[in-house]
Structure 1
Amino acid sequence: MGPMVHSNPEAVMVIRDLVPSFLTTFSLPFSRGGVVKFGGRATAVKLSNGKIAVFSPVSLTNDVKKTISSMGGDVGYLIAPDIEHHIHLNAWHDAYPNSQILAPEGLPEKRKKQSHPPLPFPYVVTASNKSTILPPDLAREFKLEYSPMHPNKELAFLHIPTKSLIVADLLFNLPAKEQYSKAPESHGGVLTSLVQKFLGLEGEAKGQLRWNWWLAAAKDRKGFAEGVKEIRAWDFDRIIPCHGDVIEGRQNSTGAWDKVFKWFLDDSVKK
Structure 2
Amino acid sequence: MSDKLVPANPVDVMVIRDITPNITTLSVPFLRFGRIEIGGRCTIVRMSGGGVLVFSPIALTPEAAAVVTRLGGENGVKYLVAPDIEHHIFLSEWLKAYPTARIIGPEGLAEKRAATKGKDPRVNVNDNFFAVLADNRSQPMREPQSIAPDFDADFGLVYFDMHPNKEIVLLYRPENILIEADLMFNLPAIEQYQRVDPTTRVGVPGHANLVNRIFQTVMRTQGNLVWARRFQWYFASSRDRARFNEGLSVVDSWPFEKIIPCHGETIEKDAKEVFRQVFAWHFASKKN
TM (normalized to structure 1)? 0.93
CA distance in structure 1 between the aligned counterparts of 2:16 and 2:85, rounded to whole angstroms? 24
CA distance in structure 2 between the aligned counterparts of 1:132 and 1:192, rounded to whole angstroms? 37
Task: Show the counterpart of 1:217.
Answer: 237
Structure 1 pair 56–268 and aligned structure 2 pair: CA distance change class (3 A): closer
Q: Pick from 167, 190, 196: which aligns with 2:180?
A: 167
- Structure 2 matches for 1:69-84, cutoff 5 A? 69-71=69-71, 72=73, 74-84=76-86
Task: Show the counterpart of 1:157.
Answer: 170
Task: Show the counterpart of 2:92.
Answer: 90
CA distance in structure 1 between the aligned counterparts of 2:90 and 2:69, rounded to whole angstroms? 18
Deviation at 1:187, TM superposition (A): 5.0
Deviation at 1:155, TM superposition (A): 0.8
RMSD, matched Cα: 1.9
- Structure 2 matches for 1:25-44, cutoff 5 A? 25-44=25-44
Tell me which moved more, 238-247 or 67-76: 67-76
Tell me which moved more, 191-200 or 38-47: 191-200
Tell me, yes or no, if structure 1 residue 49 matches structure 2 residue 69.
Answer: no
Q: CA offsets, 1:234-261, max 9 Å, x none?
A: 0001000000000002x2x112211221
SS of the residue 1:140 aligns to: helix
CA distance in structure 2 between the aligned counterparts of 1:269 and 1:132, rounded to whole angstroms? 26
Task: Show the counterpart of 1:4.
Answer: 5
- Structure 2 matches for 1:1-271, cutoff 5 A? 3-20=4-21, 22-71=22-71, 72=73, 74-115=76-117, 116-117=123-124, 118-126=126-134, 127=136, 128=139, 131-185=144-198, 186=201, 188=203, 189=207, 190=209, 191-249=211-269, 251=270, 253-267=271-285
Tell me which moved more, 40-49 or 128-137: 128-137
CA distance in structure 2 between the aligned counterparts of 1:224 and 1:200, rounded to whole angstroms? 20
Q: CA offsets, 1:67-93, max 9 Å, x none?
A: 212221510100011111000000000
CA distance in structure 2 between the aligned counterparts of 1:208 and 1:195, rounded to whole angstroms? 9
Deviation at 1:12, TM superposition (A): 0.6
Q: CA offsets, 1:29-75, max 9 Å, x none?
A: 01112221110000000111111100000011111112212221510
Q: Which amino acid aligns with 1:107?
A: L
SS of the residue 2:212 aligns to: helix
Q: Which amino acid aligns with 2:128?
A: P
CA distance in structure 2 between the aligned counterparts of 1:214 and 1:184, rounded to whole angstroms? 36
Deviation at 1:106, TM superposition (A): 1.2
CA distance in structure 2 between the aligned counterparts of 1:152 and 1:132, rounded to whole angstroms? 19
SS of the residue 1:144 aligns to: strand
Identical columns (%): 40
Structure 1 pair 261–184 and aligned structure 2 pair: CA distance change class (3 A): farther
TM (normalized to structure 2)? 0.88
Q: Which amino acid aligns with 1:215?
A: F
SS of the residue 1:248 aligns to: coil
Q: Which amino acid aligns with 2:284?
A: D
Deviation at 1:132, TM superposition (A): 3.6
Deviation at 1:207, TM superposition (A): 1.7
Contact 2:145–2:158 at 8 Å: present in 1 too?
A: no
Contact 1:43–1:56 at 8 Å: present in 2 too?
A: yes
CA distance in structure 1 between the aligned counterparts of 2:58 and 2:227, rounded to whole angstroms? 27
Contact 2:44–2:53 at 8 Å: present in 1 too?
A: yes
CA distance in structure 1 between the aligned counterparts of 2:146 and 2:111, rounded to whole angstroms? 19
Tell me which moved more, 240-249 or 62-71: 62-71
Contact 2:35–2:202 at 8 Å: present in 1 too?
A: no
Contact 1:123–1:133 at 8 Å: present in 2 too?
A: no
Q: Which amino acid aligns with 2:188?
A: P
